[in-house]
Amino acid sequence: MRIAHRAPHGPVDTRPRPTWWRAAAAAAGAVGLSASADARWTVTNLHPAGATASWAFGVSGTRQVGYAQVGAVQHASLWNGSAASWVDLHPAGVNWYSSEAWGAGGTRQVGRALWGGTPHAALWNGTAASWINLTPSGATESIAWGTSGAQQVGYAKIGSTIRAGRWSGSAASWVSLHPADATWSEALGTSGTQQVGFARIAGSDRAGLWSGTAASWVSLHPANSTWSEALGTSGTRQVGFASVGGTIRASLWSGTAASWIDLSPPGASWSEARGIFGTRQIGFARVGGVSRASIWSGGASSWVDLSLALSGSWGDTFANGIWSDGTWTYVAGYGLNNITRRREALLWVIPAPGGALALALAGFITARRQRRCILRAIAG
The residue among 137, 186, 135, 194 whose CA lies nearest residue 163 is 186
* Predicted local confidence at residue 29, as pLDDT: 30
Q: If you average pLDDT over residues 158-185, what whole number do you get?
A: 98
The length of the chain in residues reads: 380
Order across the sheet with 175-176: list the strands.
139-147, 152-158, 161-167, 175-176
pLDDT digit string (tens) for 345-355? 999 998 887 66
* Predicted local confidence at residue 352, as pLDDT: 83
Distance between start and end Cα atoms, the chain = 73
Contact call for residues 120 and 88 (beta carbons, < 8 A): no
* Predicted local confidence at residue 379, as pLDDT: 35
Indicate the CATH number of 34-379 among 2.120.10.30, 3.20.20.150, 3.40.30.10, 3.10.270.10: 2.120.10.30
The residue among 278, 149, 133, 146 whose CA lies nearest residue 210 is 146
pLDDT digit string (tens) for 211-243? 999 999 999 999 999 999 999 999 999 999 999
* Predicted local confidence at residue 355, as pLDDT: 60
Q: To the nearest whole percent, how much of the chain has pLDDT over 90?
A: 78
Output b/e per residue, 184-215; b: 16+ Cβ within 10 A: bbbbbbbbbebbbbbbbbeeebbbbbbeeebe
**Beta strand spans in 106-151 (E):** 108-115, 118-124, 132-133, 139-147
Name the pTM for this structure.
0.85
Separation between Cα atoms, residue 144 and residue 127, nearest integer Å: 17
Sign of the dihedral defined by the CA atoms of residues 132, 136, 141, 142, in that order: negative
Mean pLDDT over the full length of the chain: 86
H and E: helices and strands count for the chain: 2, 28
pLDDT digit string (tens) for 5-47? 433 333 222 222 222 222 223 322 322 323 555 667 899 999 9
Q: Does residue 141 surpass a pLDDT of 60?
A: yes
Q: Does residue 61 surpass a pLDDT of 70?
A: yes
**How open is the CA angle 258-261-264, to the nearest 5 degrees?**
145
Query: What is the Rg, in whole angstroms, of the alpha carbon atoms belonging to the chain?
Result: 21
Please name the residue ranges forming H helices in the chain: 19-29, 355-379
pLDDT digit string (tens) for 245-293? 999 999 999 999 999 999 999 999 999 999 999 999 999 999 999 999 9
**How open is the CA angle 266-238-353, to the nearest 5 degrees?**
70
Separation between Cα atoms, residue 25 and residue 17, nearest integer Å: 12
Domain ranges of the chain: 34-379
pLDDT digit string (tens) for 353-378? 766 443 343 333 233 333 333 333 33
Separation between Cα atoms, residue 337 and residue 318, nearest integer Å: 12
Contact call for residues 70 and 50 (beta carbons, < 8 A): yes
H/E element holding 218?
strand 218-219
Sign of the dihedral defined by the CA atoms of residues 370, 371, 376, 380, in that order: positive
